[in-house]
Structure 1
Amino acid sequence: MAAERTQPGTSARTGVVWEVLVGGLARLAGSTGGGALDVVDLGGGTGGFAVPLARLGHRVTVVDPSPDALASLERRADEEGVSERVRAVQGDLGSVFDAVAKESADAVLCHGVLEVADDPVEGMGAAARVLRPGGLASVLAASRDGLVVARALNGNVAGALTALHGPTPRRFTEDALVELVVAAGLDVVSQHGVLLFADLVPTAAADDPDLIELELATASRPEFRALATRLHVLASRPGA
């Protein structure tokens, strides 16, 4: 029997991204006549998003540098009965076109990889070129402003000031992330804050069923996004 795992739509940590992504894919599938879509998950690791997307009927290629993560992905896909719709390929943003062809995907997931890319501008550009015209990009990255808030709340005020005023490698402001996406030739569809509260509440409240509702209710509101640990941008490639 397959091991029980938390699905992204039921977790306060991933529910916002999942809801936005699945809604976007449903609209895209509807506009193209329905049916399965080709999805590339860059840095998708063990398949936290890839396997549930395959369960929805989509064909998902996961590109990840870790052979151990890819082995876990293949086991998970087999346990969930979706092996025929999941492909595991070793690679990273720098070698993505050794793994997948340009303009081969209806959607690309770029979750947590810009932070480790040698060049985030080139990395975002490569992710965008994976898309067919009209395709969707789901981009998730660590927030600089969220780091400031987290450090201050943990009592590290000096560290908060450093993050606020100095360069913070591998962290992005909302404006900087949007600029990366737009520079890659994509049109922004929506912006959301992720982990607005899940990283701030006491451990005892982490499993509160109302927490995911709170995350979903505040994710798109700009007055809350500055608190987010991570930032999510859904974008589309024009030209369909």
Structure 2
Amino acid sequence: MSRPHAHFRTAVVWEVLREALDDRAKAAGRETLDVLDTGGGTGNFAVPVARLGHRVTVVDPSPDALFALERRATEEGVAGRVRGVQGDAHGLFDVAERGGYDVVLCHGVLEYVDDPAEGLRNVAAALRPGGGTLSVLTAGLGGAVLSRALAGHFTEARRALTDPDGRWGGGDPVPRRFTPERLASLVAANGLEVGAVHGVRVFADLVPGALVDAEPGATEALARLEEAVAELPAFQSVAAHLHVLARTREGSAPFADEVR
């Protein structure tokens, strides 16, 4: 099974997610899972998940992205297993079923919603109460600080480090960034058990593309390096993105707790 598009950037998340899907399918006693991909856009993860045989519902606010998703799913031969609906995390249950999914993906969402605690409560509430897995991917604070500093923008790097939302200035396109501790705490506060935290794109955004393209096998070598450091806290703290894999606690509803 091939990895998603731009695989050296998403390799860590994809490998963890694929294993989590296999584990959830075994626990559920069935081969086909119901997967919800919030903010799934053009299907970078939804289409590969569907190729594994699962049913995927993609919720995204962009009609253009959903059109591209439909076209991509058709080209990949999985149109019957991928459904795109227009919506967002705030009004998630206008278009998705509460408690109806074995696995929920929340990738690139919490940075942009008005209230990340509410957004996470909603995606957690979409999980089946009897057992579910949540995959969360967000922008990392440390990666932004390191990137601005290496570009020579030292004042912006310091501003990002001290800003409550991790923004480096008015021109910053990302509304919010997270530390590993903040993201894990937010997930746990919603009645979920954090299984693992991963640093994503620790080096990939810093290495010039020309260097990767010039050396045979460099792309795969970079992907393996990313995988090797993903679970090391020292590298998580400077990753461009952070990934948390969580699951519902046995005997508890994942949406019962409130974030204080």
Normalised by the size of structure 1, how large is the TM-score? Answer: 0.94
Match of 1:69 in 2: 65
Partner of 1:205: 211
Q: Aligned partners of 2:22 and 2:6: how far apart in 1?
A: 18
Aligned to 1:12: 8
Matched, 1:192 2:203: no
Task: State how far apart, in whole Å, the 1-side matches of 2:40 and 2:24 are.
Answer: 21
Q: Does 1:219 align with 2:230?
A: yes
Aligned residue pairs total 235
Alpha-carbon offset, residue 10 of structure 1: 7.0
Partner of 2:127: 131
Give the letter for the 1:58 counterpart. H
The CA RMSD measured in Å over matched residues stands at 1.4
Give how far 1:30 is off. 1.0
8 Å CA contact retained: 2:3, 2:14: no
What do residues 132-165 of structure 1 show as CA deviations (whole Å, max 9, x unaligned)?
1320000000011111111111111111111112
Provide the rounded CA distance (Å) in 2 between the counterparts of 1:200 and 1:154.
10
- 1:183 aligned partner, one-letter code: A
Question: Which SS does the other structure have where 1:14 is aligned?
Answer: helix
Distance between the aligned counterparts of 2:151 and 2:191, measured in 1?
38
Matched, 1:157 2:154: yes
1:114 has 2:110 as partner: yes
CA offset at residue 223 of structure 1?
1.6
Q: Corresponding residue for 1:52?
A: 48
Q: Which moved more, 1:193-202 or 1:207-216?
A: 207-216
Question: What SS does the aligned partner of 1:62 have?
Answer: strand
* Matching residue of 2:186: 180
Which letter maps to 2:80? E
Matches of 2:56 and 2:15, distance apart in 1:
18
Q: Are residue 102 (structure 1) and residue 113 (structure 2) matched?
A: no
Can you list the C-alpha shifts for 1:42-92, whole angstroms capped at 9, x where unaligned? Answer: 000011100110010000000000011101101111111111100110000
Deviation of 1:41 after TM superposition, in Å, equals 0.2
Aligned-residue offset at 1:192: 0.2
Distance 1:80 1:60 in 2: 14
Give the whole-Å Cα distance in 1 for the aligned partners of 2:112 and 2:177.
10
- Identical aligned pairs, as a percentage? 55
State the AA in 1 paired with 2:241: R
CA contact (8 A) 1:9 1:18 kept: no
Query: Partners of 2:25 and 2:159 in 1: how far apart?
Result: 45
Matched, 1:146 2:157: no
Aligned to 1:80: 76
Structure 1 residues without counterparts, runs of 5 or longer: 1-5
Q: Secondary structure of the residue that 1:12 maps to in structure 2?
A: helix
- Structure 2, unpaired ranges of 5+: 167-174, 252-260
Secondary structure in 2 aligned to 1:216?
A: helix
Q: Which is further off, 7-16 or 23-32?
A: 7-16
Counterpart-to-counterpart distance in 2, 1:191 and 1:222: 9
Output one character per residue of 1:104-132: Cα deviation in whole Å (capped at 9) or x when no partner. 00000000000111100000000000001
Could you report, residue by residue, the CA deviation over 1:185-217 in whole angstroms, capped at 9, with x for unpaired residues? 111000000001101112223342210010111
The one-character-per-residue Cα deviations of 1:206-239 (angstroms, maximum 9, x if unpaired) are 3422100101111111121112000000000123
Distance in 1 separating the partners of 2:207 and 2:38:
30
Runs of 4+ in 1 over 4 A off after TM superposition: none
Question: Are the aligned partners of 1:193 and 1:220 in contact in 2 as well (CA < 8 Å)?
Answer: yes
Quote the offset at 1:9 in angstroms: 7.8
* C-alpha distance in structure 2 between counterparts of 1:120 and 1:224, whole Å: 24
